[in-house]
Structure formats: structure tokens, C-alpha cells
Structure 1
């Protein structure tokens, strides 16, 4: 049922590969299948190696069951009748069709990075685990790179770059599955230079269900004459769990010609400067904090145009609760652009201007980053080495025991003074103390904003930075305290607009890959903008019509799935 994408670069929507709803357990034996037999109208390039398997049905009596009914967020653990571990995309239609016939709810797990209960909840009876659909290869038939939806992001980079010297601008969270990351409009450290991963999406393969309850596999492309082009468009930011089970993506730079794979996707920087600095909370007062946060917001407001030399730079400002002890900033700059080191140093000077607190090494885990004391001075690294380094430093990805809560917002301009005061208030509260509770400001804009909001389903093409609220904790007894802190902080920050960041001249809604059930709670969202207006803005009516065409029975659904038109 769902997919997720994208923590900090991230992450994630829904932790699954596309979501489904409604299926049943198919027996309990391991079944070996021959090479996938796709629908007759679906050309495919087989990469099957070794012995085919599956689907393997794991039921509650199996010792593997407890490991397969949970993702990264331990707040949500499922109790389905069975988890089907999928060995090939060809196995999926039969499971889905049986689900529809028996009216059973089914969801799909790819990377397991669902932030809400969209994959694992009491209503779900069957889970499709597509994490082993993880091949990455060049498809000469489509002149594009195929990525199966179970492929983890670091695996994608480690295949595309060493073999062909290319990449896609996805997130830094190494274990996020491609399924939800892409469908929600995934972003990462290269977005200001290269745009979003969906800006390179050429085609998507989806198992859909018609009004007759029959499942079929459809490949939808960006070709203007493709009768299924709307289905492709829906997966350029329409989120996971809405239209069908995504099994595979194909990527190619729009307008790229020829058959040389090395010329069909962008090349990442050969080398980057990477740095991590911190400021001591004990040295910060309200004025220092105000200067630091205002400087960050002002910098990216002023330097996010399509031709800005600072689009070679990406940076995260992580503001944890004061109990952590440090505020952190992690920065990466393309080291191959002119005056790259000067870009980095000028940026750091701009952020420090008027703060009055000296920065030092990052010696603690802050937000999603572990301590990186050795990077207090920028270090020049090969791009893939830097990518491999940053991914596993993500705290919530390397500790699978954590409970988590998230919120998000896009910013089109700097903070009003009142909002900065609210941020300082909640980050220094003494009635709540969690060193792993934070707000992260992430640079945005640049190449992302060169695409029209309606050209893809992803509508946030006018923002210059984004925000992510994150609380991580281990004990279920702390659920209420962490969730309440996030809610109170968020709703007071946006009190002038009904407790949510409605699209206007300052804010621009929310990121669907950081799903937040509070957005659809009228007690928490008191604005006139519904949850879907925050995620999809003006693209929602078109998404509803596509839903009607490809999922008329509303098989693929979850708490915040796209609704059929009235």
C-alpha cells in the first residue's frame, strides 16, 4: 500500500513500494517460478539470475513473521494473515486479483520506511513484500535505466555510477526503497543542481485493477502519444499507495538522444567538499538563535534562482531540542565548479554573521546525523565515497528499534519574526527533553524550481528550503510526550494559518513523503486547506481523475490516499 521516501534527502513515503489494499493469503509453500511472464502488451528486459522463487507466504506461526510485519518505525507493527515475499513482478497480479475477489486489505512493503501506519495497521490482512525486487540495469529497448522498486537508494547509486558514470538525484538515506521515494517526488543533495529524481522518470510499471476486478500490468511512459501517460504523470509526485503496485521504474534525461548509456542520465560531481559544524546550545541565547536561523533562511531565499552559483551547494541546518547540547550544519559543495571552496567559505560566513557564537566540530548525534568531528574543516572527497559516508550516518536508519514521529513544511520565503520566536520557545522548553527531537531546515530551489508545478504531480516548485520535524525515541511510554511536542510546536508555528503551512507567499504546503495523519484531523488542521491541498495543491483534481481511470474500485488506499472524485 504505500511507499516512502525520502529523511533528509529522502526519505520516504510510506515505506512500501506502492500500496495495495485488499488481498488474501495464498497458501504457505515456497513456489519456484520460471522467468517472469509479463502481460502481452508490456515489453520487458529480464534480468533474472539464479533460481526464481516465490511468492513465499509467511504466516503468524512462522518464526520469520515478526520480522516481516514491521518497518523502520516501531510505532506501527502489523498483524496480517500473511506476508508474501515476492520473487518476481509476474507473481503480483494473481495475489492482487485474489485480494479483490475476497475483499481483503493488502499493502506493499519495499524499503520499510513508512512514517505512518499506511502499511502496517490492524485493517491490513495481507502484505506484499517486494524488497527483493531490487535489480538495477540498463534496458536497451527503452534506452533507459530500469530500477525495480525494492532497490535501496545506495544500491542504485553503486550500480549506476561505477558501471556507467551516471546517477539520479535521489536522497541520501541509503536504505530507502525506490518504490515510495520516487513516487512521492524524492529529493536529495544534488537537487539544486540537477532537480528531483522524478524529473528523470521516463516510465513506470504498475499492476492496476479494473472495474471488473481483474489485475493487469501497465507500463506508462512520458511519451506524448502514450495512452497511459496520465499514469506516468501520477507517479511523478502523486505518492505511493494510490493507483496500483509499482514494480519498476525507468530513468532517462528528458530529450537525451543516442544509445550510449553513459549519456542518458546526468553525471554527479567527480568530487565534493563535505563539512559538518556545530554551535553549542549553552552559548546560544534568543538573539543568537534568531540570527542563525534568519541567516539560513535569508541565504537560500536570495540564492536559489536557476542560475545561482550556489546551486552547487546543499546544506542542512539541524535544530535539536536544547537537551542535545549542539546545533549542527552539514554542507556539501560540488568541488569541480569554479571557486568551490570559496562558495563553501562564503556560505559559512553568511550563516555565522551576527550570531556571536563560534562554531566548532560536530561531536554529538544531531537529528539524522551522527557526530562527524573530522569534518569541522571541509574535506574533499570523491562523490561516491561521500555518498557512502553520509547515508549510514543517518541515525534513524541505522537503529531499527526506534519509534518515530514526523511533520513537514515547504518555505517560499524567510521566517516571520514571530515564527523564529516560536521555534526558540519549543526548542528550549524545560517541560520536555529529548536530545533526538529536532527540526531540520534543508536547502531547496535551484533546478527544482525550473519545472512548472503542473508539469509533474509534485507541485512544490517555488520553495527555497523545507522543514522536517522529527522525534526519535525507544520506549512506548514516551509516545504521547513526543507526539504532543511535535504537534504543539508545529501548530503554534503556523497558528496564523490554521495550524498548518498553507500555500501562500511564505509557506507552500507539506511533503507527501513525510506523511502526517494530523493534517487530515480537523481538530489539528483548522485551516480551509485540506490535507490533499497541502500535499498536492492544484494537482489534486487531476490525480483524482487518474485514480478513477486506473483504480475505480479504490483497491489501493490508506489513511491519506487519493480519493475517487465524487
Structure 2
């Protein structure tokens, strides 16, 4: 790992020659950024991300205004001997942007979404690294009538979301976000030169540039450089005109009386998607569903679904399949249970797609949080469901776990149509994606929540030594839901490289060596240089 005091002089840095510019010709502009120092009323806010567990005291925060400013800002930080970290939307689940005495390069004012051309002259949709999901959806839809299959939380930054792979409610039909990526424009530090590199999907095979492009299709943020822009192919999907939304729930009070109903519900959900998540699935590609196994103190277990065709019969069949064999009957869910919810008095409602996207577009409150994740390739075992039940029904006398849940997202279909090495994100035969979450506000309760979530997670995966081991019934964890319990740089045998990247890690390390051989860009779970 590079020392915090690495300097431009020690790297032999010099400004690189200008590369071929895209249509917007960002590189020709003068610097338009701002520097935020301690004492500025913006400093505390810009030094802290969405997760209130983490904050830092950087020497300053540089709000990059354009390409020229991002290059200058990075070079200046290195000239000063200060470590740079990169912030887009600020939603990193761990403290990877924290940077005491260093420099946070904040891209949040670079949020343009427009048509452009890539380095080969082809038309693209260009998304700047500081754009949020909401910037992307509103502009692509209103101006061009298209979209990308990315996440639902409106304030998540595209800069980090996309390079981690990116998925959302349209992914079962259209694949991952990066499956539509054509080019990435990155400020790199290669061979001692700070310059903009435009890496394309169609660059020569095995070239350093193609490796750099590939690394941004699931290699995670903060590893290779400062992402200025993503270029998406001009054939990205049109959204459906309308979708059906459904939000139903089962009261914990009823489930406690009928424990078998909880087991049956989880089994039904897993079995349905085991049967309808293959790469050649046709009927249910347009269904995305989330089962929220909340802690009993929340009140309800919730099932939220989006169906993107006009005929609601398949959605109704799915909802009936979820209740098959249960005595407990579903009700309408009209209050939040761990994030997304629909405040409607009916079990399903058809809406224009854009209105539905606005309805589901929630990021939640700024609180303290901890997260874990897992890919599942098969339905749940009885032992795993027993673990969910045991931990989610534990007493909560202090009322701390009302915002604790296991969120189970449907996955697969077109996501699974790709080869595991085609993009850096390798999990291409899973049917479910799990996110373990807990939220709180009092720092004195940190240990209570961290210990609880660790215990739940380790118990669910007890058969594979407390982690969702790869190439078994499970298949690792999601790099965009980072979890430092999986190990950090410098620890002996951390498991995060294997769980996030599987067999793609060696190529990512090779790419790191080529494009960042001084390890300028690093954090607690970054890709390490090969030994």
C-alpha cells in the first residue's frame, strides 16, 4: 500500500498528453472547481457520507468542476504529498472515502447526462461520475425515452454504483448496468503520469486499455482512478410504458402464532425464483421482487414486487404462490419496513413506469448503518430459514431492531446470460441477492447492532464457516455492499477478494499493476498489487 505521504515528485509525475476528446470536449475547459477547507460551512457535510458511522477531517475537499479540474486536483494532491480518495454520491457502506489529512476529490457537481460520442465516433449516452441515479433516470427518460437497469435509491452516485456492477428492478429483463457500458473515461496515474484515459469495450483484446475498461465493469470504486464519465451504448433499453406495483405484508403477530407460515413463505419465495431465474426464462423476466424479513419488532414481513407487463395475471399467480400452504393471510403494507414501500390501500396498482420509479425512489434517513450481502444460487436450506427465524424473533426490550432486516432480492434471468469473466463482476448464475441491514442513531449502540448482524450472518452461513462461500449453494458477496468483517488490506488471508471477485481477482490485480503501480488509489478493501 502506498504511504499517505506519496508525492508527485517521488512518482516522477508529469501531465500527460491530451487524449482524443469526446463530443463534449471537457478537457479544453479551464478549471471550474472549488476547494472547501476546514471552517467552511460545507466542510463537515462534505467530509461525511450517507452512513453517519463515518466521518473524517481531510486537509480539504476539492469539488471537481470538470475534467481539467479533476486532473489538476489529483495532481495537486500528489504534489502536496496527500493521499486522494474519491467521492461521488457518498453512499459507501464503509468508511472508504474517509481521509484524515488527505484530500477528498468530490465529483458531486459533475452530474451531467447527455448524448455524446465515444473514442471511436459512435453515439453514446454519457453519464458523469458525480451524477446520481435520479439525474440519470430523469434525463434519459425525459429527453431520450430510454433508461439503464440501475438501482432504485435516488441519491446513490453513478460513479460508484456503475463500476461495482449495478443492478435494479429492470435487471432481470435487461441485465446489469455494466452490461450496457461502452467506455469509461478515467483520470489515471500510470507510469508516473496523471492523464485522462478513455478505455473502451472494443479496444484491442488484451490491451491495457481494454483491461482498464473491464476492471470498471464490477471491480469496484476507488481502485484504479477517478471516473469522469461513463458512456453507454446507444441501444440501451426503453423502459416499459407501465408497470404493476404490489406491496403486501404478513403481520409478525400472526407469524409468531404460526411459525410454519414463516418457513413456508421463505421456502415459497426461494422455490419460485429457483424455477424462474434461468438465463432463458421468458415468462417472469419482467418480475422483480423483494422479500423483507424484518425483525419482529418492526411489525410486518413485507413483499414488494414490480411487474412490467400489462396483463397482471402472472403477478397474481406469483402472489398466490407466495401464500401457498400458509394459514396467515397477507394484508396491504402502507408503512415503511426497511426502505422501499408503497403508501397505497390496494395490493397491486398499475402506474406509468416513471411514476413508479419516483414512488420507489427512496434512500432512507441519514443514520448509522451496517450491511452485509450474499449471492444465493439455490433456494434456502431449512437450516438457513431456522437461522432467520431465530435471530429475527429475538427479544428487543430496548426497541433497537425495528430497522433491522434481511432483504432478499430476486436476481438472475438476463443477468445470468453473461459469462462470469466477460465483466469483472463474476456472479452470473445466482437466483437471489441478499442484503443484511441494520440502522440506528445512538453511537453508544454501535456494538449492539454490529454484534447482532455479525451473529445473524455467521449463523445463516454456518455450514460454510460463517461466510457465503463461492461456487457452493452461495456465491460470495457484492462489492457495492462492502463489509470490512470480510477482511481488510494488511490482514492475513482476507476473504473479500474471493467473495467479491472470485476468479477474476488475478486479472484485476494485473490491471492494478499496469494502471496504478504506486497504489495511489487505495482503501481498506481495495484491490492490492500482485506480490
**TM-score of the aligned structures, taking structure 1 as reference length:** 0.86
State the partner residue of 1:540: 505
Size of the aligned set, in residue pairs, is: 510
Distance 1:143 1:23 in 2: 39
Give the aligned partner of residue 334 of structure 1: 308
Task: Work out whether 1:198 is the aligned partner of 2:164.
Answer: no
Q: 1:197-237: per-residue Cα shift (whole Å, max 9, x none)?
A: 1000000000111232x211100000042741110000000
Match of 1:320 in 2: 294
CA distance in 2, matches of 1:374, 1:483: 34
Q: By how many angstroms is 1:329 displaced? A: 0.8
The equivalent position to 2:40 in structure 1, one of 59, 62, 66, is 62
CA contact (8 A) 2:297 2:396 kept: no
How much has 1:479 moved relative to structure 2? Answer: 1.0
The yes-or-no answer on 1:399 pairing with 2:372 is: no
2:434 corresponds to which residue? 467
Aligned residue runs from structure 1 range 10-29, under 5 A: none
| Aligned residues: CA RMSD | 2.3
Q: Deviations over 1:123-176 (max 9, x none)?
A: x51111110110001114431111001111121111111222111111111111
Between the aligned partners of 2:331 and 2:519, the Cα distance in structure 1 is 53
Question: Is 1:519 aligned to residue 477 of structure 2?
Answer: no
Question: Which residue, out of 365, 368, 379, partners 2:339?
Answer: 368
Deviation per residue, 1:34-61 (Å, 9 max, x gap)? xxx995223222287xx97632111112
* Corresponding residue number in structure 2 for 1:454: 421
- 1:222-237 to structure 2, matched below 5 A, reads 222-225=201-204, 227=207, 228-237=209-218
Give the stretch that moved more between structures: 382-391 or 442-451. Answer: 382-391
- Correspondence for 1:136: 113
Give runs of aligned pairs for residues 43-62 of structure 1, distance below 5 A.
43-46=21-24, 54-62=32-40
Equivalent position SS for 1:553: coil
Structure 2 distance, partners of 1:404, 1:465, is 22
Aligned mates of 1:547, 1:450 — CA distance in 2: 27
Displacement of 1:466: 0.7
Matched, 1:239 2:220: yes
Matched position secondary structure for 2:467: coil
Q: 1:414 aligns with which of 348, 368, 379?
A: 379
C-alpha spacing 1:116/1:183, structure 2 compared with 1 (3 Å): same
Comparing 475-484 with 138-147, greater Cα deviation is found at 138-147
TM-fit CA distance, 1:398: 4.1
TM-score normalised per structure 2:
0.92
Deviation of the 1:90 alpha carbon:
1.1
Map Cα deviations across residues 298-351 of structure 1 (whole Å, 9 max, x no partner): 110111122321111000000111000111111000124xxx311100000111
Q: Distance in 2 between matches of 1:205 and 1:238?
A: 15
CA distance in 2, matches of 1:279, 1:132: 43
Q: SS of 2:41's equivalent? A: coil
Corresponding residue SS for 1:127: strand
1:319 counterpart SS class: strand
SS of structure 1 residue aligned to 2:508: helix
- Of 126, 129, 147, the match for 2:103: 126
Deviation per residue, 1:244-281 (Å, 9 max, x gap) = 011100001xxxxxxxx5xx221111110011111100
8 Å Cα contact 1:22-1:555 kept in structure 2: no
Asked if 1:100 corresponds to 2:57, the answer is no
Q: Does 1:530 align with 2:495?
A: yes
C-alpha change, 1:132 and 1:21, in structure 2 (3 Å) is farther
Paired residue secondary structure (1:138): strand
CA distances 1:334-369 after superposition (whole Å, capped 9, x unpaired): 124xxx311100000111111211101113321112
Instruction: Name 2:10's counterpart in structure 1.
Output: none
How far is 1:94 from its partner? Answer: 2.3
Q: Using the TM superposition, give the Cα deviation of residue 121 of structure 1 relative to its aligned residue in structure 2, in angstroms.
A: 4.5
Structure 2 contact 62–103 (Cα < 8 Å) conserved: yes
Aligned residue for 1:72? 50
Distance 1:383 1:464, change over 3 A: same
Q: Which runs of 5+ in 2 are unaligned?
A: 8-14
Equivalent residue for 1:565?
530
CA gap 1:266/1:476 in 2 versus in 1, 3 angstroms: same
Q: Does 1:303 align with 2:276?
A: yes
Taking the aligned partners of 1:431 and 1:165, their CA distance within structure 2 comes to 48
Distance 1:375 1:236 in 2: 40
Alpha-carbon offset, residue 472 of structure 1 = 1.1
- Corresponding residue of 1:150: 130
Cα distance between partner residues in 2 of 1:472 and 1:197:
27
Kept after mapping to 1: 8 A contact 2:149/2:169: yes
**Deviation of the 1:99 alpha carbon:** 2.7
